[in-house]
């Protein structure tokens, strides 16, 4: 090959290198890379200071672990403590017929305001009660508590005995005439035992007494009387004598 041809070949190679190394990066906007390629087996080149400065090292914040010492449960000192409420309920409204007067009535003369005498139960007429205090006195004449039985004939063998217990009972329902609500259900305290009362007169509790405190409210009532094995009974509504001409 002549020198002229060699020079043309070298010039062509130089142009190619210039195009690849200089012109192409300029056209694509990349920076010029004038470093020589690394040979196989050679150690990697150190990172340039500019590249190293662009890397931001990650910093790890150490986690502080707090160990809590458990609070010891205090022992009871023996002193009582008061408990409060987290929620309060609405207290019930006190009915007027249970409101006590300012002064408890002292022992005084009582007059009969109304009376009832009957043998069987039933519903009474309405009675107006304008008084702040009144009493209901009642007495009952019950059957004796006995065993009543019959014995069959012995001709066919052993006799058969049929027995039943007679057990009387009695109660009074005091009801408000306005709405028919039950004000009080009254039953004889101690029950009904006519046989015992005959043997021991001091055990006879009759008459029984029920006390009613009306405050200043005028009410109307009626009585529902229920009987079972009762000969007769009587009821008296009693009021203090000092109420005469006042109510």
CA angle 99, 101, 102 (to 5 degrees): 130
Q: What is the pLDDT of residue 149?
A: 62
Tokens (6 digits) for 129? 């009660």
Read off the pLDDT band of 98 (50, 70, 90): very low
Compute the distance between CA of residue 96 and CA of residue 171 in angstroms, rounded to an integer.
23
Q: Cα 66 to chain center, whole Å?
A: 42
Q: What is the mean pLDDT of the chain?
A: 76
For the segment(s) 108-243, the CATH number from 3.40.1620, 2.60.120, 2.40.10, 3.30.1490 is 2.60.120
Digit-coded pLDDT (tens) for 103-137? 555 678 999 999 999 998 899 999 999 999 999 99
What integer is the mean pLDDT of 186-193? 94
Which are the contacts of 212, defined by CB distance < 8 A and separation ≥ 6? 97, 129, 133, 134, 135, 136, 174, 184
Give the best-scoring range by mean pLDDT among 23-27, 52-56, 87-91, 136-140. 136-140
CA distance 129 to 220: 6
Pairing of strands 230-240, 110-118: antiparallel
Question: Does position 1 have pLDDT exceeding 60, yes or no?
Answer: no
């Amino acid at each position: 090959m002549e020198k002229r041809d060699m020079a043309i070949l070298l010039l062509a190679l130089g142009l190619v290198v210039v195009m690849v190394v200089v012109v192409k990066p300029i056209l694509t906007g990349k920076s010029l890379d004038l470093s020589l390629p690394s040979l196989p087996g050679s150690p990697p080149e150190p990172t340039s200071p500019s590249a190293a400065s662009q890397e931001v090292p990650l910093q790890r914040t150490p986690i502080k672990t707090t160990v809590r010492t458990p609070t010891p449960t205090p022992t009871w000192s023996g002193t009582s403590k008061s408990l409060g409420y987290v929620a309060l309920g609405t207290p019930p409204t006190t009915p007027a017929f249970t409101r006590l007067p300012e002064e408890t009535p002292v022992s005084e003369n009582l007059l009969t305001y109304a009376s009832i005498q009957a043998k069987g139960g039933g519903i009474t007429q309405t009675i107006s009660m304008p008084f702040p205090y009144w009493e209901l006195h009642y007495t009952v004449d019950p059957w004796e508590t006995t065993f009543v039985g019959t014995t069959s004939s012995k001709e066919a063998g052993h006799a058969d005995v049929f027995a039943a217990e007679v057990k009387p009972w009695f109660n009074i329902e005091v009801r408000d005439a306005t709405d028919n609500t039950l004000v009080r259900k009254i039953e004889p305290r101690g029950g009904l035992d006519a046989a015992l009362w005959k043997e021991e007169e001091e055990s006879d509790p009759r008459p029984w007494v029920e006390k009613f405190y009306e405050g200043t409210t005028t009410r109307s009532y009626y009585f529902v009387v229920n009987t079972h094995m009762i000969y007769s009974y009587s009821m008296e509504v009693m009021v203090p004598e000092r109420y005469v001409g006042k109510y």
